[in-house]
Amino acid sequence: MIETPAVSTAPTEVITTAVPAALEASAVSAWFGDRKVLDQVSLAMPSGKVTALIGPSGCGKSTFLRILNRMHELVPGASLAGEVRIDGVDIYDATLRVTDARRQIGMVFQKPNPFPAMSIADNVLAGLTLTGIRATKTAKRDLVEECLIKAGLWKEVKDRLAQPGGGLSGGQQQRLCIARSLAVRPRVLLMDEPCSALDPTSTRRIEETIGELARDVTIVIVTHNMQQAQRVSDQCAFFLASQGTPGVIVEHGDTAAMFSAPQDPRTSDYVHGRF
């Protein structure tokens, strides 16, 4: 556990072990300017489960993920309707600070994006600084180790924590980004095609990490890899935007069932590579 130093007069910021949260999107629609890109998307992402978002490029998966993290509003001209709740609390509630909402939700992107010149240890801790969390030196050291272990990177980097993050391989950099996202103890982890820039071995290792992380955190992962969706997820949502219409969820449900007996012919075509 991390505690504020006794001498500090700053607001107390204590990180306790987080438990995974249930995330629920209700009737979410999104626009970029006049263009509607998501239409009435509703999806429950249960606590401690892995939800895979699948579907062709351009159907709004990344947009949906950004809405779950209050990042859509950062795009100029972007707007949205609907609700997102984390354990029943509306993350768009005007009384909730954006940083408090975002702190509960980690994000990992397609392209590994560690701070290249910053040390491996400081990369892990970067989120603490950004969200104003204070911690003792010892607590920080423990946190770096804990997060790197969880991300499956500790053994490879424990003797070079002071070296720059940019010196790691692509797969290691992505695991460093996972470690960084875990340092604020998120309750939900959003991953946007986290393996699509990686080789098969790195991909496998990240999939193993996802399986282990799912005990502590609710995971939502966008993937174009149907084998990966089947390997890592408990439930799947198939997004589609046909002929300029906004993205919708065509079908969602238990992953095994969705792949073995899809209900909609479009899902069947997509999961069997006929798109």
Q: What residues make contact with Mg ion under the rule CB under 5 A?
A: 62
Minimum CB–partner distance for residue 239 and Mg ion (Å): 10
Which residue's C-beta sits nearest to Mg ion? Answer: 62
Query: Would you say 32 or 154 has its CB closer to ligand ADP?
Result: 32
Q: Choose from ligand ADP, Mg ion, none: what does 58 bind? Cβ within 5-8 Å by kind.
A: ligand ADP
Query: Per residue, what are the HEC states of the chain?
Result: CECCCCCCCCCCCCECCCCCCCEEEEEEEEEECCEEEEEEEEEEECCCCEEEEECCCCCCHHHHHHHHCCCHHHCCCEEEEEEEEECCEECCCCCCCHHHHHHCEEEECCCCCCCCCCEHHHHHHHHHHHHCCCCCHHHHHHHHHHHHHHCCCHHHHCCCCCCEHHHCCHHHHHHHHHHHHHCCCCCEEEEECCCCCCCHHHHHHHHHHHHHHCCCCEEEEECCCHHHHHHHCCEEEEEECCCCCCEEEEEEEEHHHHHHCCCCHHHHHHHCCCC
Distance in Å, CB of 233 to ligand ADP, minimum? 16
59 binds, among Mg ion, ligand ADP, none (CB under 5 to 8 A by kind): ligand ADP
Closest to ligand ADP by CB, 71 or 153:
71
Judged by CB, which is closer to ligand ADP: 135, or 248?
Answer: 248
When CB distances are held under 5 to 8 angstroms depending on the partner's kind, the choice from Mg ion, ligand ADP, none that residue 32 binds is: ligand ADP
Task: Identify which of residues 2 and 240 has a Cβ nearer to ligand ADP in the complex.
Answer: 240
Q: From the list Mg ion, ligand ADP, none, which binds 37 (C-beta under 5 to 8 Å, kind-based)?
A: ligand ADP
Q: How far apart are CA 253 and CA 259, in angstroms?
A: 10
Q: What angle do CA 145, 219, 158 make, to 5 degrees?
A: 15
Which residues of this protein are in contact with ligand ADP, per CB under 6 A? 32, 37, 57-63, 75
Identify what 63 binds: ligand ADP, Mg ion, none; CB under 5 to 8 Å per kind.
ligand ADP
Question: Minimum distance from CB of 64 to ligand ADP (Å)?
Answer: 7
To ligand ADP, the closest distance from the beta carbon of 69 in angstroms equals 13
- Between 108 and 121, whose beta carbon lies closer to Mg ion? 108
Which of ligand ADP, Mg ion, none lies near 228, with the C-beta cut-off 5 to 8 A by kind? none
